[in-house]
Amino acid sequence: MPAPHVITLGCRLNAAESESIRTLAAGRDRVVVNSCAVTQSAVAETRAAIRRARRDHPAAELVVTGCAAQIDPHGFAAMAEVDRVIGNDAKLDPQAWQGAAPVVVGDIMRVAETAPHLAPSFTRHVRAFVEVQNGCDHRCTFCIIPYGRGNSRSAPVAQVVERVAALVAAGHREVVLTGVDLTSYGPPSLAALVQAILLGVPALDRMRLSSLDSIEIDDALFELLTGEPRLMPHLHLSLQAGDDMILKRMKRRHARADAVRMVDRLKARRDIAIGADLIAGFPTETEAMFQNSLKLIDDCDIVHAHIFPYSPRSGTPAARMPQVAPEVRRARAAQLRARGAERRAGWLSTLIGTEQPVLIERPGTRGHAANFAEVTCAAAPVGAVAMLRITGSDGQRLVGTAMERQAA
């Protein structure tokens, strides 16, 4: 049975869903572009990927799915390269892939359920991604994603545990729980889900959580994050800005002090590496407001910085606010990236001489330590958790050498 060629853009949730699409879309010569719509540049990248895919696969059926397809189905259907458009509401429905309708896109706001999808394994990833939550009930003023993903809904605990157990049985050493708004998981709570997985799948070596909203880390989740060794000491926080007025205009639910306080509490209990999303040049952002975001990299010890220049999305409240000039947005994003890179390089240098258990993910050989530092080494089998002695750093990643003893 011919396997489809799946091109995945955007988030880990898309990566999780693409593995199911490989199974659902099999059976004919097909290319699937699983799109992203988080920024205007992400939409442009999707269109570029479609054009490249058509050049590389001139005879294949080309199907576009994902958030960009859900939000603008007819715009993508009008592209000469595209044969079909399948929305997020239908992309995991087997019947949608068996049909021939040129546009299969329904009302995403009517979708009330989600499930951990049943791809047998992650053939292209050593780490496996499990969707446990989808959609979002919040309406941040810059964000278009709720209109591509719908309202918040969560997968049942028992199904998630079963899914994780199957992935571990298939050989995956690390599982990442993903969602659009992961800390809104429930009922029960995200902490209860994590605890159920840890108890129900004792063979799972390593678990990570995708992006978290810091204000929604409750006491039970805090205790797991700081005390459970199988939860990796790495958190990615959805911070977005470090200025209170900008956070208010973004319609975020936390203040700057809340984020700093949470990071301080976490790091007081465990040596946790912090990652964060930050947006540069949000509408009305002054230089003083920007400096507050720049300082947040130090105040929250952000060593995995994910920086976006603000991108206006039609239909969002922020697109109607007074805009910061594009060249200023780009310059501020560059400053944030430079400060993040400086912070990261300093952190990596402190790890030289330590021993780190590294999940080897690609030949060459490259993988990630428990703290999500990227590490290269001379020789270790893909899929193994190798104990490496860290011998150097190039400022972006670590260099390690294999030790005689291996991680458990």
| pLDDT tens readout for residues 205-228 | 999 999 999 999 999 999 999 999
Higher pLDDT, 95 or 111: 95
Over residues 79-102, mean pLDDT: 93
Over residues 359-385, mean pLDDT: 88
pLDDT at 362: 81
Phi/psi of residue 142, nearest 5 degrees: -95, -5
d(CA 213, CA 183): 6
For a pLDDT cut of 90, what percent of the chain falls above it? 81
Over residues 307-335, mean pLDDT: 96
pLDDT at 118: 47
* Closest by CA position to 9, among listed 76, 99, 100: 76
d(CA 273, CA 343): 12
pLDDT (tens digit, 9 = 90+) per residue, 117-174?
Answer: 544 445 556 889 999 999 999 999 999 999 999 999 999 999 999 999 999 999 999 9
The whole-angstrom distance between residue 150's C-alpha and the CA centroid of its chain comes to 17
For a pLDDT cut of 70, what percent of the chain falls above it? 96
pLDDT (tens digit, 9 = 90+) per residue, 164-203?
Answer: 999 999 999 999 999 999 999 999 999 999 999 999 999 9
Q: Which residues pair with 110 in a beta bridge?
A: none
What contacts 24+ positions apart, CB below 8 Å, involve 247-251?
A: 249/141, 249/282, 249/283, 249/284, 249/318, 249/321, 250/140, 250/141, 250/142, 250/279, 250/282, 250/318, 251/138, 251/139, 251/140, 251/141, 251/317
Name residue, tokens 């011919």: 2
210-224, 354-368, 376-390, range with greatest mean pLDDT: 210-224
Asked if residue 185 lies in contact with residue 232, where contact means CB atoms within 8 angstroms, the answer is: no
pLDDT at 124: 57
Q: CA quadruple 124, 76, 112, 24: dihedral positive or negative?
A: negative
Per-residue three-class SS string for 28-89: CCEEEEEECCCCHHHHHHHHHHHHHHHHHCCCCEEEEEEHHHHHCHHHHHCCCCCCEEECCC
pLDDT at 120: 47
Over residues 35-61, mean pLDDT: 95
Half-sphere exposure in the Cβ direction for 148 (13 Å, CA): 28
Over residues 259-264, mean pLDDT: 98
Q: At what angle do helices 256-269 and 219-227 cross, to 10 degrees?
A: 40
Residue 404 has pLDDT above 70, yes or no: no
pLDDT at 97: 94
Residue 14 has pLDDT above 50, yes or no: yes
Half-sphere exposure in the Cβ direction for 359 (13 Å, CA): 21
pLDDT at 92: 87
Residue 405 has pLDDT above 80, yes or no: no
